[in-house]
Amino acid sequence: MLTSAQRWVILQTRDPEYHSAFVYAVKTTNIYCRPTCSARLARRANVLFYNTASAAEAAGYRACKRCHPEIPEWHPRLRGLVERAKGIIEAGKEEIGLKTLAGMVGASEWHLLRQFKKEVGVTPRGYWTVACQQRRGEAAVDELMREIEMAERDAPAADGDEFVDWDGGQ
């Protein structure tokens, strides 16, 4: 169990390792947040710590609209959101718009965009571009291999008995 002093240090550093370990409430705003929330840090005298979001709500605080501490990380709708989106992008032959992709994975456009960029490092469009380039690259390699195989199959078998005129018949 973390002490209040340890939680305050975690809160000051916004350590992502403790993203869902506890919540903190601000007395002056009546709002509670995750320790990684991007909201401005309150004065220490105005901060209370709670083990769970439900404990903070029971004490009369409402959830932050930035970090949504009331939504558990394992929420079924959000689990694997980016992985599902990546699978759809990789399987598709044509680019899918952000609105359509978000609808397919069950999230808002902006939530998908933020999560995708956070986890993958690029936007869904950027990921689609890279996936297309890889597909084209793989197709080009496959085509080259087929050409080489055909050339080897059609070439006469060389067993070393033929005379090769290296000097051009001079």
Instruction: Give the pLDDT confidence of 77-93 residue by residue, as tens digits.
Output: 566 888 899 999 988 87
Tens-place pLDDT, residues 102-124: 899 888 888 888 888 888 888 89
Regarding predicted confidence, which is higher, 23 or 91?
23
In a domain, 28, yes or no: yes
Structural domain for 11, as ranges: 4-63
Question: Cβ-count burial of 22 within 10 angstroms (0-12 exposed, 13-18 middle, 19+ buried)?
Answer: buried
3 pLDDT higher than 90: yes
Residues 52 and 86 in one domain: no
Tell me, what's the pLDDT at 73? 65
The domain boundary residue, chosen from 12, 33, 63: 63
Tell me, what's the pLDDT at 34? 93
For the entire predicted model, the pTM comes to: 0.47
Number of domains in the chain: 2
Q: Which residues are catalytic?
A: 33, 37, 64, 67
Q: Which long-range contacts (CB under 8 A, 24 or more apart) does 61-66 make?
A: 61/25, 61/30, 61/31, 61/32, 62/30, 62/31, 62/32, 63/31, 63/32, 64/31, 64/32, 64/33, 64/34, 64/37, 64/39, 66/33, 66/37, 66/38, 66/39
161 pLDDT higher than 60: no
Residues 32 and 87 in one domain: no
Tell me, what's the pLDDT at 149? 72
